[in-house]
Structure 1
């Protein structure tokens, strides 16, 4: 199949190039005309109590919590009467007039009209006040446009000694769009120039990746019309597609240039590259996609949307690598090394692998030392992972210059830390509303006496659902939304206090929604991990005809992931170096990050396992030398794996330039996992363990020999004949007992 596809792309190169060009043009037009809106909200998952309570609250006419923000007015202690100062009141009134004039769907309550304390309040010392701002809820795009207009309206607020800020995720400062992608691409281009020394050769992987990413991103944008997709999904598609796409194209391009150096004609060089590296790339892409598809087990919002975002990027760039790239290579031919960099010397493959042979030789002479050192590094990096705490960050984690962080700190100063994350208790009342409100009020009195509670509002009727009245209590904790004390309070209310009432009370709120979502994620995580590991084992076992290699690969990949989780905890929960990546305060790890990181990083780790071990196995099947095959396999792949890993680390590390805290953690984790995997694991732990195990690496029980083989997916030394068939069988010199 690979040769037939490659032959078609070579023979019909112009048709393939024209098809891709038209596809990209059509994709751009479709994205401009039919891209769906993104909807970012993890709090309304109705598999959780908080999600069901939020749905009841909204259905009763309480409005969506996600649609509301706060306008926070704060004054210096020197301002007479604080926010009630006449000059401040005049400016607040003028701001309210400007905001409410923008759109009938945008409303700002009067700060100075008494009402529900959860909507409007002035602090006891009079220096801080807040009022509720309701935003249109059609989509992220509509909200973002209105937020920009509101910020412009607030720019003219000029009361002496006073300032106005906004509390709500929509008002967080945003970096210029595309800055993360631009940084990642720039660093990737620099590495490619260093690796290839030619502008043409360096540009081909970038061009291939960008073409695939364009199709993948548009696919996600169009699917947003039929499935609620968080705003960062397209960014994940783009960055994952760029990193994987450049790597895949890099591997194929390297084999193509090697074939040209062996004096093969251009068309035959393309066929060799596609029938060797192309097979490994295809298998690697499928493996990554299967790992990502394991996210479907999570269900809810994360499962389908993150699966779509990840697989769209990977499969689109895989398609580009298997079709567009061979057509480009056949067209460019020997001009692939044009526009050489002045520092580039002639390629010397033997010299390129010399350092890898020396390194492999040292590791194989001291295998147990290599294993001990590698395990020590990985386990030390993984130690912080035992302190992993899932949840969601909030404005308190943002830089201190962000308007939402300023508002967060001012609210904590005026009303206590719990004011930034009040708990909302929602219930349906019995037929007699008066008696129901009385019972709810009695429950509020018991809650007020509970340790950890700062204040409780009186019962507030909010509407009806199916003819039954619905009411709420607003509970302000003494601790902030991310504090463990708030989580403890929620469990105390749910397990002890609320059951004393006969009312069906449910608890929701931003902090509660995050904790509930985190618990749901953890509940489903073991099943997801088990499914991904089982499928990975089966694929690798059938590919390498070994039961030892898959077990070893899975164990090593889990160690790499442990190191990645450890670094995330150290930075985002312990605060080590957090200011370097724009994190303002420590907090929990975003609940969706571990599951997505596991799926993506595990799949990517399998890529390097396939690229390295397939070369080792090819040499072993040819020579039967267990030690020499490791040395030759490492020498043949060290340069390309190093370059590929460096590119992927740079691309993923550029995630830290995104504003979203979860994307920052995701990027840091992926960069760490890839770096550790390509260095400590592939360059130290793999050769050391393979030397220790020797021929046992390729153990394949006789009773499994009837199973189908995927061995042909990673042939690495075959010589395509003019008809595309292999001239030799590399297994012919190896005994049947070894081949399996």
Structure 2
């Protein structure tokens, strides 16, 4: 296969480039429509009890207000005639808006609960109808139309819909800033690395193809299923980063061949045959890690799998077909360095070679300090607590966050943080009353309201007592809703324990009790991820083991890679807990410390694991080539030579990829900051500490047993694995990969 790709590049280069240019234009035209298809949110499991409760509340009871307009009187009380008139006009105008329902305001009869304790603020609440992008677009229009100064009052937007609107808008601005930082810095670093603008532009070409192609994929997927807007972030970061990684490997190998005296056809064949094989396996390992995200129910995580798998596959295909065609057209111009600092031809790195030699001489002495630092960095994981995103992920001056702060500070608690129980089924009044009393008697509950009556709880678990009339609007034929007000800190461990206690109360006969509300959503989101983590981890481990076995023919190498990758990822995740949960560097980065985001932790793990395997394949492929070229040589020679040949490429690629992710640290949405900084740090730890020190040390300690496989598996690998054949003759052949046998490659 790889030889056929090289032949295609040599004889049909201009055709390949023409088809590529047409495809890129078509993908760009299609991809720009993706942004209208992508959705905010997606953190909940649609099959969870809280999500099912919310569906019934929306269908049977008209839903809950998702948009809150905070009306503030300018220099007076909200009940002043001018302020009251402005507030009433605002509510009346909102009621006339298409796609808006359930509008209630502080100026309606019985609306006193919507007036602040200080008397200078009031609320107008409304439901924004529509699903996904339709509701998002409608919310954006309402926020634009109704917020700001309105005569004697000023208006700000809050609530669930406004938070989603603010997060989406902030992410879009952050993405533009990240690209404005990453692309110029990356180009400068590529020019510095290659010493040639022509060579430096090739990796960016692959990055652009991967990004546009994935945007087109997201447009198609967004038209048929739910896709999160946050998938754009991984598309740009991975597209640019992996495009650079793969093109960098091909260009460096091609320049190395030319520097060794090979002619262009021979150099291109060897480049595609060796570096191309590495890229194919590297992409497969990254895709295997990202595919684990498909196991999780929230479409937020699945969206990253859609985008990640697409961008990796497109980057790999573009690198394998487009870069060889460009190399065939450009020829020796790719190898010409126009700057005095540039090293010709991707020469071996003396620094990495010397580091490998030192590690091979003293493996334990060099590895133990690195292990100690990584374990110390991972230590904060012992105190990790998990949560889900809320308005606190936004900067403090974000409009919806200011409204949320005002609600907590200035308004009666009411039932904003209440649990909402939906009894799906016909329930006789007597059984409804008994069930409500039992719930009201739970620790922490202060009041339960049903359609038939209210029940006061002591908050200490004592028997509940009747407490006034109920709310008839909570009853429907065949469906009953109960509001459970509690005195516990929202999103706290006690509040989550209350959710579990409510769910443990036996539902009335013939009805199913579904518990919803913010605390219930948090419990269900953590369960949706935690319950599937073992399967996801198992899938990653098994697929990685199989791929690395096929690549190396060893059962020890995959186990060693899995162990060291887990160590480096633990260090990166521990550092993120120390920063974003414990609050260190919060002043510098401008975020509010809060529990570690469950979804983002899983995402960071899968993405960083896949990328670390990327560099694992880069290094091991070269070590294996040298070992296969001279099986009788000492194992240390192959490891030292492999690190000398790949150390500079791996460190350069990792640095460039880390820039793409670190650029997200300039943003103002805290979970995106965490993802960017955590992934960038994991990449650098892996490229420097793991590839530079721990892998050579492990290889030295394992010796020849590093390549061990039981006899049956060795026979299996000879049949289905990729092995090397007779080395080609001619300049630059020494130490080069030989034509692939065991699998037909063309």
TM-score range, shorter chain: 0.7 to 0.9
Is 1:603 paired with 2:610?
A: yes
Residue 156 of structure 2 aligns to a residue whose secondary structure is: strand
- In 2, the alpha carbon distance for the partners of 1:524 and 1:600 equals 17
Tell me, in whole angstroms, the C-alpha distance in 1 between the residues paired with 2:729 and 2:184: 36
In terms of mean alpha carbon deviation, does 641-650 or 42-51 score higher? Answer: 42-51
- Partners of 2:178 and 2:736 lie apart in 1 by 47
Task: Say how many residue pairs are matched.
Answer: 712
Alpha-carbon contact 1:615-1:716 (below 8 Å) kept:
no
Q: Provide TM-score, normalisation by structure 1.
A: 0.88
User: d(CA) in 1 for partners of 2:165 and 2:297?
Assistant: 29
Cα distance, 1:424–1:609 mapped onto 2, change above 3 Å: same
Displacement of 1:617: 2.1
Q: Note closer, same or farther for the CA distance 1:348–1:292 as it changes in structure 2 (3 Å cut).
A: closer
Matched residues in 1 for 2:235 and 2:620: separation?
Answer: 28
Identify the match of residue 107 of structure 2 among 108, 112, 118.
Answer: 112
Equivalent residue, structure 1, for 2:68? 70
1:73 alignment partner, SS class: strand
1:156 paired with 2:173, answer: no
Distance in 2, matches of 1:245 and 1:60, equals 50
CA distance 1:621–1:714, change in 2 (3 Å): closer
Q: From 109, 122, 127, give the equivalent of 1:129.
A: 122
CA shift at 1:305, angstroms? 3.1
Q: 1:420 to 1:190 in 2, by over 3 A?
A: farther
Cα 1:287–1:44 change in 2 (3 A) is closer
CA distance in 2, matches of 1:717, 1:565: 44
Between the aligned partners of 1:540 and 1:595, the Cα distance in structure 2 is: 23
Give the superposition deviation at 1:720. 7.7
Structure 1 residue 712, shift from structure 2 partner: 7.3
Unaligned runs of 5+ in 2: 447-456, 740-746
Name which of 498, 503, 517 aligns with 1:494: 503
Task: State the Cα distance separating 1:450 from its structure 2 match.
Answer: 5.6
CA contact under 8 A between 2:34 and 2:222: conserved in structure 1?
A: no
- Specify the alignment match of 1:40 in structure 2: 40
Structure 2 residue 218 is the aligned partner of structure 1 residue 220: yes
Cα distance in 1 between the residues matched to 2:656 and 2:519 = 37
Superposed CA offset, 1:195-217 (max 9, x none): 11221111110111111221122
Shift of the 459–551 alpha-carbon distance from structure 1 to 2, 3 Å rule, reads: farther
Name the SS for the 2:100 alignment partner: coil
Question: What residue is the counterpart of 2:183 in the other structure?
Answer: 185
Partner residue of 1:554 out of 547, 555, 562? 562
Q: Which secondary structure does the structure 2 equivalent of 1:616 belong to? A: helix
Rate the CA distance shift 1:483–1:651 in 2: closer, same or farther, 3 A. Answer: same
Deviations 1:26-63 (A, max 9, x none): 22333456876223344652432212212222231432
Give the 3-state SS of the residue equivalent to 1:576 in structure 2: coil
Q: Pairwise mapping of residues 426-465 of structure 1 onto structure 2 (< 5 A)?
A: 426-428=422-424, 430=426, 432=428, 435=430, 438-439=433-434, 442=437, 445-446=440-441, 447-448=445-446, 449=457, 451=459, 459-461=470-472
1:541 aligns with 2:535: no
Provide the C-alpha distance between the structure 2 equivalents of 1:488 and 1:95, rounded to a whole number of angstroms. 40
- SS of the aligned residue for 1:172 comes to helix
Contact 1:514 1:591 (8 Å CA) reproduced: no
Q: Which residue of 2 aligns with 1:505?
A: 513
**How far apart are residue 593 of structure 1 and its match?**
1.9
Taking only aligned residues, the RMSD between alpha carbons, in angstroms, comes to 3.3
Distance in 2 between residues matched to 1:452 and 1:227, nearest whole Å: 46
TM-score using structure 2 length: 0.87
Contact 2:91–2:124 (CA<8 Å) still a contact in 1? no
Describe the superposition over 1:320-379 as per-residue Cα deviations: whole angstroms up to 9, x where unpaired.
1011111111112222256x66553452765x5111122222222221112211211111
The aligned counterpart of 1:170 is 164
Residue deviations 1:101-129 (CA, integer Å, cap 9, x gap): 55353664222214589xx6224443443
Aligned mates of 2:674, 2:407 — CA distance in 1 = 27
CA drift of 1:533 comes to: 0.5
Structure 1 residues 386-425: Cα deviation after superposition (integer angstroms, max 9, x where no partner): 2232221211342211112211111111246796643222
Aligned to 1:641: 650
**Aligned with 2:572 (options 564, 575, 596):** 564
2:294–2:301 Cα contact (<8 Å) kept: yes
Relative distance call for 1:729 and 1:320 in structure 2 (3 A) is closer
**Pairing 1:311–2:319 present:** no
Quote the Cα distance in structure 2 between the aligned partners of 1:477 and 1:171.
Answer: 30
Q: How does 1:171-320 map to 2 (within 5 A)?
A: 171-172=165-166, 174-175=169-170, 176=173, 178-301=176-299, 304-320=302-318
Tell me, yes or no, if the aligned pair for 1:544 and 1:711 is still in contact at 8 Å.
no
User: Structure 1 residues 100, 327: closer, same or farther in 2, change over 3 A?
Assistant: farther
The Cα offsets for residues 249-294 of structure 1, whole Å up to 9 and x where unpaired, read as: 1111111111121232223322221111111011100111122112
